[in-house]
Structure 1
Amino acid sequence: MRRDTFLRSMAALAAAGVLPQAALANAANLKMMIPANPGGGWDTTGRALGKALQDAQAAATVSYDNKGGAAGAIGLAQFANGSKGDANALMVMGAVMLGGIITGKPPVSLDKVTPIARLTSEYNVFVLPASSPLKTMADVVEQMKKDPGSVKWGGGSRGSTEHIAAAMIARAVGVDPSKINYVAFRGGGEATAAILGGNVTIGGSGYSEFAEYIKTGKMRAIGVTSDKRLAGIDVPTLKEQGIDVVIGNWRGVYGAPGITPEQRKALTEMIVKATKSKAWAESLEKNGWTPALMTGPAFDKFVDDEFASLRAVMAKSGML
């Protein structure tokens, strides 16, 4: 085959997304640490990113390691200690991890690993089990005012955005935030099961984690933590219900400790390429995620600012 004919053939295959494996010989074999149990937002994000990396032909393969607990601190420690200098290692993280670090003060923090990119943003939604005698956020607030401990709030790890939001709600309606009864779960799957089983009074998480249960009537959505109603989602904000609480969630990805600036740049370029893929666009639409790509020094500063902002909110809400 003539060289020009071969190149045209390869270009056609690339456009169709069916390059032979040999063409991916120089693509990375990535390892993705997901510091949470299967079924939650980090798990969904990590696997969606892995699929996008392969769809964009930035990675030949992606393997996953779920290690839940302590708002991601257990997975973070394993990632930091076990992947030093590994330019093919990635870890999913986000606002929940920052909150967990602030409250738990684990021995290994984010300063031990390498920031790569913020990926998405999302607001939390609060839901009631379909069988709950409570019907609205006003009902929850009324019950909480009578007996704060009788309302069991279910969600992610201590320090998660839904935990912070619950404390903010309590404070906003005149209830001592230190008296809220918050039940932390190791992953979104566990929290979802507890809500569906009526083992907690009210649950909170990103809308994408509860969407299918809300649509099928197994959960009743009673409030979102956004400033304005979310497009295509008929759920009132907390603000329009007279509760002045707005808090967002976001998710990102970090690289291993000890990688070179060139390796960090290469990983960043891979992530950017993945976010331009069809697979990533489909994941954004399916999960209701808002694209929020940020890389480089801007992302470094964003994380520092988020630490300061969350710490201030948590202190004000009586969580520290």
Structure 2
Amino acid sequence: MRRDAFLRSLAALAAAGVLPLSARANANLKMMIPANPGGGWDSTGRALGKALQDAGVASSVNFDNKGGAAGAIGLAQFVNASKGDPNALMVMGAVMLGGIITGKPPVSLSQATPLARLTSEYNVFVLPASSPLKTMKDVIEQLKKDPGSVKWGGGSRGATEHIAAAMIAREVGVDPAKINYVAFRGGGEAVAAILGGNVTIGGSGYSEFAEYIKAGKMRPIGVTSEKRLPGIDVPTLKEQGVNVVIGNWRGVYGAPGITPEQRKALTDMVVKATKSKAWAEALEKNGWTPALMAGADFEKFVDDEFASLRAIMVKSGMI
């Protein structure tokens, strides 16, 4: 092929956004973070953006925070404004699935393009340091006496901590419909409410509360894992006699309507980013468990998670 013909072909591929990974190192990416600053999706999206640049597969990443409705508001904007855009990404996860199940928004996650699961973690429940309650047993006793008096603070309705609260209520003989759950649009708001004593108990991924736990400003009283988390001396709910286990995970999607070639290019970029030094540092700093899953496996995983969460929510009386 003549050099001028080759360059024209390369330019055409670039315009279509289907250049091979090595040729897209100058990509200017856009990252939708469907939550307010300060929470798990925000930290995940910004860590991924840094890793994409550190891996040399993106020259820049611009972030757009749009919180509310368990990510459904950000999802709607992403679906409607990014059709066919091979440089658009969106952070998502189990919380979004739960919110879609409970909220039934007009947009569907299936309209966007699944790329990869990134991390997994479990929820931890905490009390404000000044709380007169000291243990999960104290919380449960109060819950049994007066369900409405226990204010559970966490992410949007349908978040894994919301589902866990409903599961706890059901396990201890309290009507899940009577739990007093206070939903926040972002992790920063939830943290402020807990520190200010505006909620009785808070729930989220451990990484969001870690610095406050270490500083003695929050008291961890239970994690939703099967076994105790490594390096974290917090009892599981199961070992406290409450048979509740539920995990959280986060992933990334591409825009609606991109081609299979564009999807593969974006997926390859994300996978390469997870092998970067910046990503390894983010995992260690936040206590995230790497849980990379891409392509068709991730797409099937999301479908299975929808079914599993729906079944749990039905059983717990949430829907």
TM-score after normalising by structure 2: 0.92
CA deviation string 1:39-76 (max 9, x = no partner): 00000000000000000001000000000000000000
Retained in 1: the 8 A contact 2:83–2:258?
A: yes
Is the Cα–Cα contact under 8 Å of residues 24 and 58 in structure 2 kept in the other structure? no
Matched with 1:99 is 98
Query: Are 2:30 and 1:34 equivalent residues in the alignment?
Result: no
| Contact 1:25/1:60, CA 8 A, preserved across alignment | no
TM-superposed deviation, 1:298 = 0.5
Q: Counterpart of 1:282 in structure 2: which amino acid?
A: E
**Aligned ranges for residues 1-320 of structure 1 at < 5 Å?**
26-320=25-319
Asked if 1 retains the 8 angstrom alpha-carbon contact of 2:113 and 2:253, the reply is yes
Partner Cα separation in structure 1 for residue 24 and residue 288 of structure 2 = 32
Alignment check: 8 A CA contact 2:122 2:247 kept: yes
Separation (CA, whole Å) in 1 of partners of 2:136 and 2:34: 31
SS at match of 1:59: coil
- CA distance in 1 between counterparts of 2:308 and 2:24 reads 44
Offset at residue 25 of structure 1 (A): 7.8
Partner deviation per Cα, 1:143-164 (whole Å, 9 max, x = no partner): 0000000000000000000000
* Whole-Å separation in 2 of the counterparts to 1:311 and 1:27: 41
Q: Following TM superposition, by how much is the alpha carbon of 1:109 offset from its aligned partner in structure 2, in angstroms? A: 1.0
Structure 1 contact 37–188 (Cα < 8 Å) conserved: yes
CA 1:146–1:255 in 2, change beyond 3 Å: closer, same or farther?
Answer: same
* Aligned counterparts of 1:180 and 1:280: Cα–Cα separation in 2: 38
- Determine the C-alpha separation between the residues in 2 that align with 1:201 and 1:118: 32
Q: Is the 8 A contact 1:195 1:201 kept in 2?
A: yes
CA distance in 2, matches of 1:110, 1:25: 26
Structure 1: give runs of 5+ residues left out of the alignment: 1-22
How many Å apart are 1:24 and its aligned residue? 8.8
Q: 1:98 to 1:148 in 2, by over 3 A?
A: same
Q: Distance in 2 between matches of 1:128 and 1:26?
A: 46
The number of residue pairs the alignment matches comes to 298
Say whether the 8 Å CA contact 2:25–2:56 is kept in structure 1.
no
How much has 1:27 moved relative to structure 2?
Answer: 2.0
Q: Give 2:15's aligned residue.
A: none
Whole-angstrom CA distance in 2 between matches of 1:26 and 1:198: 47
Q: One-letter code of the match for 1:157? A: S
Query: Deviations for 1:10-61, whole angstroms, at most 9, x for unmatched residues?
Result: xxxxxxxxxxxxx998421000000000000000000000000000001000
Kept in 1, the 8 Å contact 2:25–2:57? The answer is: no
The one-letter amino acid of 2:226's match is D
SS in 2 for 1:262: helix
CA contact (8 A) 2:115 2:252 kept: yes
The alignment partner of 1:191 has SS state of helix
Measure, in 1, the Cα distance between the counterparts of 2:276 and 2:132.
45
Deviation, structure 1 residue 248:
0.1
- Whichever residue aligns with residue 192 of structure 1, its letter is V
Cα distance in structure 2, aligned partners of 1:25 and 1:71: 32
**1-side partners of 2:125 and 2:94: how far apart?**
17
SS of residue in 2 equivalent to 1:198: coil
Q: Secondary structure at the match of 1:235?
A: coil
Aligned-residue RMSD, C-alpha: 1.0
| Partners of 2:93 and 2:249 within 8 A in 1 | yes
The alignment partner of 2:28 has SS state of strand
